[in-house]
Amino acid sequence: MEAIEVKDLVKRYRGNGFAAVDHISFNVESGEIFALLGPNGAGKTTTIKMLTTLLKSTSGTAKVAGFDVGKDKDSVRKSIGIVFQEPSLDWRLTGRENLDFHARIYGIGRKAREDRIEEVLKLVELEDKADVAVDKYSGGMKRRLELARCFIHYPKVLFLDEPTLGLDTHTRRRIWDYIREMNASEGVTIVLTTHHMEEADYLCARVGIMDRGKIIALDTLKNLKDLIGSDLVSLEMNTGSYNVEVFKKLDFVNDFRKYDDFVTLKMERGDLRIPAIMEVAKLAGIEIKSVNLRKPSLEDVFLHFTGRRIRD
């Protein structure tokens, strides 16, 4: 069963006519963790706002949990949880009070509310901080409380907009584990936006790559990476090494990409090819600063489709 159905969705702003989201279509299966991956300004947040009824689309259709986001907004809102990019907690209240207030909004009775608060506090490991004012929380604790809050009313679909934005590496990894636990413990569908390749790689089976308002690729991580090939050899050169076209002439190189002072070569058995590559560089007068052999990543997939790195 599909938790989300998006068909030809468009958001065009009046005045300049800019299309923040430009005719995108995708589906998300119930119980899936799905990511919209792309740089800032790709249209990810605009898409989430339309799916959560916070923004009206220009055209196209979308259903969330079986409800049309344009015609049945109340049913959509009852079926979803949201974590925004910016914190939306009341810092003057304790963690427990924030959760209690949110549960009351959804009409959860007292006993059920108290039990559910304990469940979600345990899930994100905040039991010992439940009665501490939120303004005393660290950034990671606030994010964990927001995850608990969006989960408290048993939503069918969770939308997480850049859920680990601004967090350190250790805290980010813990948040990922909480997201996976939420998905596994109650089978909730999770849609997240991110520009972190590692985040999408760790959490998701399928990814939609967005750029300039369009979905330019959508598939499983394995299939996306298989598009690139087996091995990638990246060469970092000193500035001024311009004769890089010589690498194209090597018969074992299947693809050639240049980016600033880097060249990426796609090939089979890259570990055996590096000596030949270095010899060609020496004969061409190209000074190599570093060599890196690796398997394809989502960064390589993005570079393959757009010609630039995601951070650009």
The answer to the question of residue 311 being in a domain is no
Same domain, residue pair 144 and 251: no
| More reliable by pLDDT, 245 or 74 | 74
pLDDT tens digits, residue range 15-40?
778 899 999 999 999 999 999 999 88
Angle, helix 139-151 to helix 169-186, in steps of 10 degrees: 10
309 contacts: CB under 8 Å, gap ≥ 6: 259, 299, 302, 303
CATH code of 83's domain: 3.40.50.300
pLDDT of residue 311: 63
Residue finishing a domain among 190, 221, 252: 221
Percentage, residues of the chain above pLDDT 70:
98
Is 310 among the domain residues?
no
Q: What span, in angstroms and rounded, lies between the C-alpha atoms of 270 and 268?
A: 6
Of all helices (H) and strands (E), which one includes residue 264? strand 262-267
- Please check whether residues 69 and 200 belong to one and the same domain: yes
| pTM of the predicted structure, to 2 decimals | 0.82
Q: What string of DSSP letters covers 274-308?
A: HHHHHHHHHHTTPPEEEEEEE---HHHHHHHHHSS
Q: 171 and 32: one domain? A: yes
pLDDT value at 242 more than 90: no
pLDDT value at residue 312: 54
By C-alpha distance, which of 90, 19, 79, 27 is closest to 53? 79
Q: Of 106-120, 187-201, 245-259, give the lowest mean pLDDT range.
A: 245-259
In the structure encoding, which two tokens stand for residue 55, read together? Answer: 């923004």
| Structural domain of 262 | 229-295
For 244-277, write each residue's pLDDT tens digit.
Answer: 888 988 999 988 888 778 888 888 888 899 999 9
Whether residues 70 and 198 share a domain: the answer is yes
- The answer as to whether 206 is a domain residue is yes
- Tell me, yes or no, whether 241 and 199 share the same domain: no
- Domain co-membership, 275 together with 195: no
107 and 48 housed in the same domain: yes
